[in-house]
Structure 1
Amino acid sequence: MAKVIFITKTNDAVEVEGDSGSLMELASANGVAGIDGDCGGVCSCATCHIYLTPDDFKKVGTPDEIEGDMLELDDNVTQYSRLCCQIEVSDNIDGMTFRVAN
């Protein structure tokens, strides 16, 4: 079971927990503002853009080529950007905090 925190654009902290699916699905199921997931999690819209801390980015890993291409279309991308539809809910992300980009 992973417990994570999303920080929204209005600086609200939303703590959620889950044990399967993608981080985008978990955020959407819990009404996290700014995580829209318009494409349903197939990495074709960037409406689930998040920022990770440098340490957490190292743990989660870098985006693959398709995700990287999609992130390039977002004006607010940083070196610590990821699409949360591409991050699986697992013990690996337990305790992490993600800042919503949108």
Structure 2
Amino acid sequence: MSRNDLPAPGAMRCAFAWCTTPHGLTVHPADEDHRSAGIALALRARDARAGGPGETTEWEVGLLRRSGDDETWMVIEAGRALSLALPVDAARALGKVLRDDPDLRAWLAVDGSDR
């Protein structure tokens, strides 16, 4: 374990291995929520009810468990304006559909071809 892997002095260890919150060192109680590091990516998206080419926006995908929650949520968000939170079991169901449906799997294949 390197020095960078050690918790900051005064920080409490978290029961969730994915949590990056420095518990005990935050300023506001809401900052104590359990959050993963998140994965940032630029995606072109649009509202499903709209037309047009959409807009490329920075999105972040991660895990969140607020202090009042009794389950963990997968959060997909682009700032305050656009956000979706799925409980982990729903996120797993979505992943299973994307992986197991032959038509979706073919269309989403990462082989560089356009079907």
TM-score, with structure 2 as normaliser? 0.27
Higher Cα radius of gyration = 2
State the structure with bigger RCO (CA 8 A, min sep 6), 1 or 2: 1
